[in-house]
Structure 1
Amino acid sequence: MKFVPTAEQADFARTLDAVLSATDVVSATRAWAEGDTAAGLDLWGKLAEQGVPALLVPEDADGMGATPVELVIAMVALGRHAVPGPWVESAAYLPRALGDTAALGAIAEGTPATVAVAPQVPYALDGEVAEQVYAVVDGVLRSATATSSVTSVDAARRLATVEAGDAVASADLDRAFDTAVLATAAQVYGAGERLLEEAVAYVKQRRQFGREIGSYQAIKHQLADVRIALDFVRPLLDGAALADGTATFSRDVSAAKVAANEAAYLASRVALQVHGAIGYTAELDLSLWILKVRALVGAWGTTTFHRARVLEALVAGEGAA
C-alpha cells in the first residue's frame, strides 16, 4: 500500500520545513543544552503559530483536532532539524491524556508541558523549562514538580526527576502512550534522514587519493543500506498513524518504533564512519543528530520493549481476519 499525503498535509510539511530552515535551529539547540532556552522558546512560539502543539488537542479546547498523520509530519520535521524541547510530551501525549480543558487550551496556545510516565519514561523531559509538569503514577495522571536534573547522552534533552502531586482529570492514558511512541518514532526517523543527507553531502566533497570518497563502491553500498532501511520506516509510520483508534494501534506504533530505531541508528553509525575522525568532534553539527538518535532510541520504550509488544500482539492473533 502506498501512502500519499493530501495537498493540505503536503503544504503543512513544506511550511514547517520553511520555518525551520529559516531559523538557526542548531544554535538554539546548542544554547538549550547549556541552559539558555531563550532561542528555543522563541522557536517554540513560531511552531505554535503553525499549530504544532495544537494538532491533537480537541477543537473544543481550541485545538486543531487533527489526526496522527499530521503529527507524524510535524515530528519528522522536528527530528530532521534537531529542534529542542518536550514536543512529544506537549503535542502527542498530553493532548490525549489530559481531561482538563483549560490545561489543554494552554498547550494548544503554545505553553510547553511535559510528563514522566514510569517505568518507560522515568524522567520528565525539560521539566525545569515546562510550565505544566505531570507524572503518571500507578496508572493515575497527576500534577508534578521537577526536583532535580538528570544527565542525558544528548545534552539538549534536559531530563528531570519529578515529585507527583494531586491527581488531575485524565482521558485515555494507554492511547496517549501509543501516540507518544509514534511521535518519538517519527522524530528518530527524521533525525536518521538528516544524518543520511549530511553523510551524502560530505562524501561528495571529501576527496582522498584524487577522487571523491563517495565514488568508492564500499561507501556507496553503506549509504544505500541506510537509504533502504529508512525507506522501510515511513510506510510503517504512516500505517500506524492511520491505525489510530483500532485494535492494532499499539502493535503498529511499536513496529514503527523498532524500525525507526534500527534505521536511524544505522544512519548514525554510517554517517560517523564516512566523516572519519572529524565525526567524533562535538564541534561538528553532525554530533547533534548522532546523540539525539542515541537518546531517542530508548525514549518512550526501548527496542526490546517494543519488539515484545509486537510479538505479544502477533501471538495473540491481534488484527487477524
Structure 2
Amino acid sequence: MKKKVMPVLIGLGLLGLAGCGNGEESSSDNGNGETEYGEVLATSDAGEITVDDILNEMGTTQIANQTFQLVLDQILQDRYSDEVDEDEIHEQVDAEMEQYGGEEQFEMMMAQQQPGMTADNYREQRIASTYHDLFFAEKFDISDEEAMENAAEGAHILVAVDEDEEDGLSDEEAEEKAEDLISEIEDGADFGEVAEEESDDPGSAANQGALGLVTEGQMVPEFEEALFELETGEMTSEPVESDFGYHIIQRGDEEDLDEELETIKSQMVNQRIQEDPGQVLTFYQELLDEYNVSFENDEIESYIEETYLADSEETDDGEEESAADSEENETEDDDSEE
C-alpha cells in the first residue's frame, strides 16, 4: 500500500505550487506562432482598454505565477532541447487519447478534472513536464543505473484487519487467512485469480493484484523491503504485516523495465520532491542565477522572491548567521581562556 504524502509540487509539466494557468491558449510561441496584441486592445468614446488594464484585472499574483512558469519553461527548453523529441511526445499523447475514445472524449474527461483544459494544453503540459523531469533528475543526480535498481513491478493480495466490522477479521484471523492463501498459491492456485477473489485492496484486486511500477519510497517500509528482496516472479513465503493488514507480495516480470526508464525517473523525482520540497526552491534559485534572470516589474519580482525563493534565501541567511554565531562563540571561548 502506498504511503500518504503531501501533493506533489511539480504537476504535469506545470508548477503545482504556482497553481497558474487558466486553460486558455497562451500568446507565447508554442509552435503555432505568436500573437501580437499591441498595447491598446479596444477604443470607445469612453476611453481605451490597454494590455495593462487586462493585466491589472488579472492581478499581480496570477501574472507573477505565469511569468515565473514561462521563464522556467523557456530556460529548461533551452537547456534540454537536444534531449527531448517533441514529435514523439505528441504521438504518445495521441495514442493515449485514442484509448479514451478520441480527442473529443479525452477533452470532455479532462474538463471535469481541470475546467478549460484542451487537448493542445495537455500536449504542451506533457512536453513541459518532460523538460522539468530532466532538470530534476539531473539536480537529484538520478542515474540510469540507480533508477533501474530502485524500481520493481509489484503485485499483492491484502488481507485486512478490521475487528470493528461485523464480518471483519481479527489480527490473528487475518494472518491465518493470509497463510492459507499462500499455501493455496504454492499448491498451484493462480496468484491473479486469488487476488481478484480474496484481496481487500479493491484497486489492485480488479487488476489481479498488480500495482504496476513501484519505486523506492512509494510504499510503506515493510511492503517495500519485502518486495525488493524478492527475485523476479517470486512471492513472499510468509505474510508481510503493515498498518493495512497482511500482504502476500509478488515481484513481477521486469524484462522490459528499461523501457520504463523515464517513468521510473519521474516517479523518483516526485518522491524526492515530497521528501524535501524546500530543496526545489534552491534548485530554482540556482537556475535563475545561472541564466541571469531579471524580473523587470518590481511587484512581480517581489512576489516571486517571497513565494518561490524565500526558503532558499532564508537557508543562505541561516547559514551565514550560524557561521557568525560560531565565530562569536569561538571569540568568547578565546576570551574566557585568557
Higher radius of gyration, 1 or 2: 2
Q: RCO higher in 1 or 2 (8 Å CA, sep ≥ 6)? A: 2
TM-score, normalised to structure 1's length? 0.21
